[in-house]
Amino acid sequence: MSDSRASSVIQEWAGSYPGQNHTLNQTSASNQLSQMDMMPYGQAQGLGRGGPDDRVSEQMMGLSYLPYMSSCLSNTSNAGNTNHHQSHVNTQQDFSSFLMPTLRAPVNKRSLSKDSAEYRLRRERNNVAVRKSRDKARRRIMLTQQRAGQLQEENQRLQSRIGQLTQELDSLKHILSQRHLQGADGGPAGEASI
Amino acid sequence: MSDSRASSVIQEWAGSYPGQNHTLNQTSASNQLSQMDMMPYGQAQGLGRGGPDDRVSEQMMGLSYLPYMSSCLSNTSNAGNTNHHQSHVNTQQDFSSFLMPTLRAPVNKRSLSKDSAEYRLRRERNNVAVRKSRDKARRRIMLTQQRAGQLQEENQRLQSRIGQLTQELDSLKHILSQRHLQGADGGPAGEASI
DNA sequence: CTTGATTGCGCAATTA
DNA sequence: ATAATTGCGCAATCAA
């Protein structure tokens, strides 16, 4: 495992896709949480593949994490979303559904034909956003680790310095006390000491 | 139905045979910070084995959240979907399978019927492993952040302490110099007060 | 409602 | 062969 500490080797990836700009926002290793932002960005639009595809559709089983072994093959046919919401404390009657148009069924989702261009466009955009977001997260994590490392180093230096100062201080105190004794021993003058 | 773009199931097997091992010298970003196991969040690594058949890197380090290429959408509908663009460097990999019994063709994948129990079992196991791994990663990240925070706090305390000690030290030095002067001046009586 | 950002999840390729 | 990692796409949800 060679590790490269290089604090500036996070960008070599010169993209290579059809007309797209790469917003390399790279905050150099600085203190504190660097708030990267990034913004506009050319939007993707490289869809239009040749053949229909996407057999997407089977992903609804999110479930328990903790019990890694508990009942493995329990393909709960849902729960993936775990909408533990909406079923709060139904203090009211059952007409809540009428009061909450927000929860109305798959109304607007109709145009979700996996074949529609709309769909692909949205998917592609989201994919871009996801990659971007994860990249950001990765960078953030690395920065944090780096920061922790630097802080630890600095901490040691500071500890060292403290030890040094303390020792020096003790020496001086000792010297002073000696003088104090000498002074008291042979002189009438009273001195204050710390 | 799942899918994802993906992949090559057989093709890289063929590609990585000829003796072209991936010399991916992945750099892990670990170093000091040995408190906890470090994750390999290495970056860089931008090399690229100049092989012409880098179909694999297609998803290696997906740097750049760009539209990606549209071509990565292929659905491995099920068994028998070996139709992959593997028309690359077919220089001569015919007998490779004979030369490398260890890596022989999709033998393992033989029962890759998405319907096979074997498949599901493996998938499920991997899913469990994935959840576990991610959970671990999340925990690790939080710990690192926490550690960074604590270190920063401690850092401040140490800085403070150093300032305090330094000041104290200066006082004593001053006192000593005073006594020195006074003592040399003629009177043994020197007073110090802080 | 629409869009980009996040987040949890499963898949598949790699790595150990 | 198995478990652990890791990049990626999907879909739900958040936040504007």
Please state the three-class secondary structure of chain B as a single string: CCCCCCCCCCHHHHHCCCCCCCCCCCCCCCCCCCCCCCCCCCCCCCCCCCCCCCCHHHHCCCCCCCCCCHHHCCCCCCCCCCCCCCCCCCCCCCCHHHHCHHHCHHHHHHHCCCCCHHHHHHHHHHHHHHHHHHHHHHHHHHHHHHHHHHHHHHHHHHHHHHHHHHHHHHHHHHHHHHHHHHHHHCCCCCCCCC
CB atoms inside a 10 Å sphere around CB A61: 14
pLDDT at A113: 85
Residues 50-109 of A with CB under 8 A from B: 50, 53-59, 65, 68-69, 72-73
User: Looking at per-residue confidence, does A68 or B157 come out higher?
Assistant: B157
C-alpha R_g of chain A: 33
**Amino acid at residue number B88:** H
Whether the per-residue pLDDT at B193 is higher than 50: the answer is: no
Whether the per-residue pLDDT at B132 is higher than 50: the answer is: yes
pLDDT at A112: 74
Whether the per-residue pLDDT at B190 is higher than 80: the answer is: no
pLDDT tens readout for residues A37-60:
333 333 333 333 333 333 333 333
Mean of pLDDT values over B141-170: 96
Strand C contact at CB of residue A86, distance < 7 A: no
- CA A186 to chain B, closest CA, distance in angstroms equals 8
Mean of pLDDT values over A147-154: 96
pLDDT at A139: 93
pLDDT at B58: 36
Mean of pLDDT values over B74-87: 32
Binned at pLDDT 50, 70 and 90, residue A10 comes out as very low
DSSP for residue A43? P
Mean of pLDDT values over B23-31: 31
| Burial status of residue A149 (CB atoms within 10 A of its CB: 0-12, 13-18, 19 or more) | buried
Binned at pLDDT 50, 70 and 90, residue B148 comes out as very high
pLDDT at A93: 38
pLDDT tens readout for residues A103-146:
444 555 656 788 999 999 999 999 999 999 999 999 999 999 99
Out of B1, B38, B151, whose CB is closest to A57?
Answer: B1
B63 and A13 within 8 Å at the Cβ level: the answer is yes
pLDDT at B67: 59
pLDDT at B180: 73
Binned at pLDDT 50, 70 and 90, residue B131 comes out as very high
User: Looking at per-residue confidence, does B134 or B95 come out higher?
Assistant: B134
Mutation to test the A interface, candidates B3, B23, B39, B43, most A Cβ within 10 Å: B43
Strand C contact at CB of residue A108, distance < 7 A: yes
DSSP H/E element including A97: helix A96-99
Mean of pLDDT values over A165-192: 72
CB atoms inside a 10 Å sphere around CB A95: 8
pLDDT at B46: 30
Mutation to test the A interface, candidates B70, B77, B85, B132, most A Cβ within 10 Å: B70
Whether the per-residue pLDDT at A174 is higher than 50: the answer is: yes
**Residues in Cβ contact with A179 at an 8 Å cutoff, skipping those fewer than 6 apart:** B179, B190
**Amino acid at residue number A57:** S
DSSP for residue A193? -
Mean of pLDDT values over A4-32: 31
Strand C contact at CB of residue B115, distance < 7 A: no
Average pLDDT, chain B: 58
Whether the per-residue pLDDT at A151 is higher than 50: the answer is: yes
Query: Distance between CA atoms of B152 and B139, rounded to whole angstroms?
Result: 20
User: Looking at per-residue confidence, does A179 or B194 come out higher?
Assistant: A179
Of how many residues is chain B composed?
A: 194
Mean of pLDDT values over A180-185: 63
